[in-house]
Amino acid sequence: MYSKMKKEAAAAAVVSQNGSLNGSQNGLSHSMAALGLDSAESAKAALPDPTADENGGEENDVKVDIKRGMDTATFRRVGKQMVDYVADYLENIGDRPVLPNVQPGYLRDLLPGAAPERPEDFEKVMEDVESKIMPGITHWNHPNFHAYYPSLNSYPSILGDLLSSAIGCVGFSWIASPAATELEVIVCDWMVKAMDLPSHFLSTSETGGAVIHGTATESTLTCMLAARERAIKDWLKEHPESGYFDAFSRLVCYSTDQTHSMIVRNASFIGIEIRRLHLPEGRTSLNRKEFVQAVEEDKAKGRIPFFVCGSFGTTSSCDFDPVEEIGPVCMSERIWLHIDAAYAGAFLFCPEYRPLMRGIEYADSFNFNPHKMMHVNFDCSALFLRCVEDLFDGLKEDLLSGLKLMKIFKEQGIPDYRHWEIPLGRRFRALKIWFVLRSMGLQGLRKSLRHHVQMADHFAERMGADPEFEVLTKSLGLVTFRVKDTDAVNALLYNLICDDGRIHLNAAETGNPPTYYLRFVCTSHAEQKDVDFAFDVIKSLTARLRSRRLSLSEVQAEREKMLNNLAQQRRITSTG
């Protein structure tokens, strides 16, 4: 306590000497004397040294470059070592187990409870990466990774991200880094042309344009905000006696029970009612009759249908909503049609898959993730818009109206991308796309995508030729299958695969009543020998399963475990 009082008095004396503290100098001198401080100089001596750390060391003794975190010579040395580490990791990733064998909380026991006060050698950091971090990594680019949807990377993309990190710009406006803005416009136009998307998505079109976000969830939320404001504006024009919040309360959007879960979260975020249309048994995509019926029901109740999310490759089975059927309905009812093509969109680089997108000309927005199948590492999500002005109105600011922003964009051909998204700060993501497109070329991308499909075809053939299994669907690089048995038996097989750990895949259920099945996704990292290895693992575990006789209680227990696994997957499937 005395030490604390002494420091406080010393601080008061110094401040008083500088004329920043009002009060009685005599009283202050008395207090100083009582604490054994006879002058301002002794008071200064009693103050704590601001350069001393908690362990008694001096910051001036710390050998660290406060500009860059390490000196340039060290960075050159360890940077080259890191490139070698990354190359070795990706080249030999198949030698590691695809799934980590750790328990929740494992890392807390291995790392200190507080950050280090003194700098540590980078070699020590990398030792801990290999001994502590890597054992807890699920290796998404492993040849035995067949879960979720892919998140492909590539050396060109990694290098693009490295350079982007070095540049370190926050490209919220053109002047914040002109090249970052202009390259984004250019690569988005390149993708529109290479994928044969409607020309109204080009930046040079009368009303359209494109932007790069982080994830499909962010892009979809942005479009829902734009659609919300457009619908309210339309309603108030026809019902001027109504108010904004009256119109807001009437809004309703649509998806099916196969649409990605992000749509439910986003509707909750913006306070909008959502109708999840439940599909009948044997169907995994929406049809026109069901959609029209739902719209008419809601209009009869005084609601305002304003947004529908169509799936171009559903999460569970990679099915496609018939956009050519629901598109005209959306146009006549002025319902915003958003196409979520997070995974399957990249296949439009290949001409043979473009018939899958029939009706895309009706879409108000189209979104796909280059970080899934385009070898552009996470995060990177491209959003293409028919009318950018609607987006500006949805993300409106008081300073500039959507009309003014639109005029500036189209006159100059240069956007201020902070008006195109929810966050104001943004990364230079276009650089890694540019690196990939130039390093691989469109021919290289198409070759990778076709390999992906060929490997899925091979797996489906192996499964279809075995009387033990049935193939439910095969779409692009995804195969869904199950053992010809009960849901509980299939759940047990899935649990055996997870416990075995040699391959990684997911399970899902669709239909009404639901059918439980397993999902097998191929990537460009998997070759035919890897697909055969996965089939052999599944086959051997099925044989082990058949050798067991399950009691009724075991079947019920497996059913409960299956439901818990599915619930957990729903919580973590949102990869964007």
CATH number where 381 lies: 3.40.640.10
571, part of any domain: no
Asked if the structure places residue 96 within a domain, the reply is no
**Tokens (6 digits) for 160:** 């693009």
| Strand intervals (E) in 242-320 | 251-256, 273-277, 304-311
The amino acid at residue 346 is A
- Token output for 85: 């580490």
> Exposed, middle or buried by CB within 10 Å (0-12, 13-18, 19+), for 228?
buried
Q: What's this model's pTM, rounded to 2 decimal places?
A: 0.82
Helix ranges (DSSP H) in 396-546: 402-412, 430-464, 487-500, 528-546
Tens of pLDDT along the chain (576 residues)? 434 433 443 443 333 334 333 334 444 344 444 445 455 455 455 555 554 555 555 556 667 677 777 889 999 999 999 999 999 999 999 999 999 989 999 999 999 999 998 889 999 999 999 999 999 999 999 999 999 888 899 999 999 999 999 999 888 888 889 999 999 999 999 999 999 999 999 999 989 999 999 999 899 999 999 999 999 999 999 998 889 899 989 999 888 777 777 878 878 888 888 888 776 665 566 778 888 888 899 999 999 999 998 889 888 888 888 899 899 999 999 999 999 999 999 999 999 999 998 999 999 999 999 999 999 999 999 999 999 888 887 777 655 566 666 667 767 778 888 888 888 889 999 999 999 999 999 999 999 999 999 999 999 999 999 999 999 999 999 999 999 998 888 988 999 999 889 999 999 887 767 788 999 999 888 999 999 999 999 999 998 888 765 554 565 566 566 556 655 554 444 444
Q: Is residue 355 one of the residues assigned to a domain? A: yes
Cβ-contact 477, 452 below 8 angstroms: yes
CB atoms within 10 A of CB 138: 12
Closest CA to 270 of 232, 210, 339, 222: 222
Q: Is-contact 6 17, C-beta < 8 A?
A: no
Which is it for strands 478-483 and 469-475: parallel, antiparallel or unpaired?
A: antiparallel
pLDDT of residue 10: 40
What is the b/e burial string over 418-444, where b = at least 16 CB atoms within 10 angstroms of the residue's CB?
bbbbeeeebbbbbbbbbbbbeebeeee
Question: Rounded distance, CA 35 to CA 31, Å?
Answer: 6
Quote the number of domains for the chain: 1
Tally Cβ neighbours within 10 Å of residue 104.
Answer: 6
Instruction: Give me the domain span that covers residue 317.
Output: 159-397+404-436
On whether the CB atoms of residues 476 and 344 are closer than 8 A, the answer is yes
Residue (of 55, 8, 73, 52) closest to 34 by Cα position: 8
CB burial readout 40-73, b (16+ within 10 A) else e: eeebeebeeeeeeeeeeeeeeeeeeeeeeebeee
Tell me whether the omega of the peptide bond preceding residue 457 falls within 30 degrees of 0, making it cis.
no
Name beta bridge partners: 419: none
Q: How many Å apart are CA 520 and CA 5, to the nearest integer?
A: 69
Residue type (1 letter), 102: V
Q: What ranges in 378-429 are assigned the alpha helix state H? A: 388-394, 402-412
Residue 455 lies in a domain: no
| Residue 348 lies inside a defined structural domain of this protein | yes
CB-based burial, 316-346: b 16+ in 10 Å, e otherwise: bbbbbbebebbbebbeebebbbbbbbbbbbb
